[in-house]
Structure 1
Amino acid sequence: MPLVKIHVLKGRPPNEVDVLLDTIHDVVVQSFGVPTRDRYQILQEHEASHLRALDTGLNIQRTEKFVVLEITSRPRPRESKVAFYSNLTLALQDRCDVAPSDVMVSLHINSDEDWSFGMGNAQFLTGEL
């Protein structure tokens, strides 16, 4: 936890996908202080005709390396969120050659009763986590 959905255009080779997923996870661990084994990622590849992302009038240029992250998480401090955005763009640029202009993030916040990691339990409520 958090649950990270990553949307990209089709066409990245498998090794590039691996580096992308590892980089995103490393930044989640670093910025949100979650354990390394708290890794829940879903990568969805889209045809170019099925992924549209303009710039909300900010004059941000997008390329074929565009990445959208939807992150569902328990509440995080504002400072952690801001650090995450910055750390993410720096790491993706350094390790994946993805420009900061090609990174978009949306955080969805929920609470402890909204999570079950299996076994029919709400582990945050039962004290297992």
Structure 2
Amino acid sequence: MPFVRIDLKRGKSADYRKTLGEIVYRAMLDVINVPQNDKFQIITEHDRGDLNYAESYLGNSYSDDLIFIQITLNAGRTVEMKKAFYKRIVDDFQSQLQGRPDDIFVSLVEVAKENWSFGNGIAQYAS
């Protein structure tokens, strides 16, 4: 049920982008209890001029490699799960892609289950 959008500066390799998507997917499976094969991602590259952000915020300093991750998902995870999820993404980003922890921005958009259709015009999760 999560729908993931990942936006980053143009110029990263296809392998880098695929690994980034897999990092997010594995964290969803392992930390926030997303079902196996529930993988819907759009990874979009942008020219640097199309990404508009401050150089720093809340103690973070951002480089030109800032990555925006927005995930729309069903409501219901605890704050502790969300914190562990954010940390897992950053830890795996550092270890697998040698990225800076400040350069991962995550936003969760929680919705009710009836707001999904996975095909055939059916609201599969609606009660």
TM surpasses 0.5 = yes
**Counterparts in 2 of 1:2 and 1:55: CA distance versus 1, 3 Å:** farther
Higher strand share: 2
Q: Who is 2:113 aligned against?
A: 112
Per the alignment, residue 94 of structure 1 pairs with: 95
Residue 45 (structure 2) aligns with: 45
Post-superposition shift, 1:62? 1.6
Matched letter for residue 22 of structure 2: D
Q: Find the aligned partners of 1:19 and 1:68 in 2 and give their Cα distance.
A: 15
Task: Say which SS state the counterpart of residue 108 (structure 1) adopts.
Answer: strand
Alpha-carbon distance change, 17 to 57 in structure 1, aligned in 2, over 3 angstroms: closer
Cα distance in 2, alignment partners of residues 94 and 51 from structure 1: 25
Task: Provide runs of 4+ in structure 1 moved above 3 Å.
Answer: none
Matches within 5 A, 1:1-129: 1-54=1-54, 57-75=57-75, 76-125=77-126
Q: Secondary structure at the match of 1:29?
A: helix
Name which of structure 1's ranges 5-14 and 71-80 shifts more when overlaid on structure 2: 71-80
Which stretches in structure 2 are left out of the alignment for 5+ residues?
Answer: none
**In structure 1, distance between residues paired with 2:23 and 2:56:** 26
| Secondary structure of 2:61's aligned partner | coil
Superposition RMSD on alpha carbons, in Å? 1.4
Q: CA deviation at 1:21?
A: 1.1
CA apart distance, 1:56: 6.0
Normalised TM-score (structure 2): 0.92
Note if contact 2:62-2:102 (Cα within 8 Å) is conserved in structure 1.
yes
What secondary structure does 2:60 align onto? Answer: coil
